Amino acid sequence: MISDEMRHQFHERGFMVLERAIAADGLELLRAECAGVMVSIDAEIAAGRQDRHRLSVPGSRYFVSEVAKSRPRLRRFLFSDLMRRICRATLGNRAYFFLDQFVVKAADVGGTFSWHQDSGFIPFEHHPYVTCWCALDDISEENGTIYVLPYDRAGTRERIPHVKDAVSNDLVGYDGDDPGDPVVAPAGTVAVFSSTTLHRSGANRTNQIRRVYLAQYSREPILNPDGSLRRSAVPVFS
């Protein structure tokens, strides 16, 4: 499923796209867990009388991290044969589960997400890790897909400084004119990119929700400057 050409593109340009890679039972699992997460976040925001929960905005977008810690069924997907094949193709024979997230854009109003690197969210030097952007719905430019900026056009494959947007709370790592390459594909597609690959997403202008599950893996445990573990470091290969 992962060809030599795909591996080459990942290592040279920073990303590859695996269309329809997730089986039907995997999609069913991820969609069910996503629905539960959205209900939980809405309840938390309502109880706190706040209009947003970190990067989540009720009725617009949901950005929820470390979901598998409270929803262990997700481990079936995180350590599936598919994820192991992706890790082997991108990281080699040693890989660790690092972090998972749901990113959801509501119908008609699902907001944008600015240009950033995933490594921009870690404020210290670290080895790049891998993000598996798993589409739970058909994705298009109309419903807010991601746009990736290949290494050769970004001019770097290194982690770069990010600036926090005061309005959206987004971390922004690029303000150039290149629009990036859109990922347009059916549900079940996995876009795989490095944590140093710049990417953004557009608004959802359709009347349907757009749901994505992110699974991230590192080559080695990522440690904070004080030596403590950042997020998770669960071995993928026994």
Per-residue pLDDT of the chain (238 residues; tens, 9 = 90+): 799 999 999 999 999 999 999 999 999 999 999 999 988 877 876 777 454 445 556 566 788 899 999 999 999 999 999 999 999 999 999 999 999 999 998 887 667 889 999 999 999 999 999 999 999 999 999 999 999 999 999 999 999 999 998 877 789 999 999 999 999 999 999 999 999 999 999 889 999 999 999 999 999 999 999 999 999 999 999 8
pLDDT of residue 60: 64
Q: What is the pTM of this model?
A: 0.92
Domains in the chain, CATH or no CATH each: 4-219+230-235 (2.60.120.620)
Instruction: Please give the pLDDT value at position 129.
Output: 98
In this structure, what are the phi and psi dihedrals at residue 35, rounded to the nearest 5 degrees?
Answer: -60, -40
| 207 burial type by CB count under 10 A (0-12 exposed, 13-18 middle, 19+ buried) | exposed
What token pair was written down for 56?
Answer: 């989540």
SS3 41: helix
Alpha-carbon span 1 to 129, nearest angstrom: 21
Query: Beta-carbon neighbour count of residue 211 at 10 Å?
Result: 22
Which pLDDT score, from 0 to 100, does residue 58 have? 57
213 contacts 83 by C-beta, under 8 angstroms: no
Encoding tokens for residue 135? Answer: 């589409």
Of 13, 6, 152, nearest in space to 88 by CA: 6
Is the separation of the CB atoms in 27 and 188 below 8 Å? yes
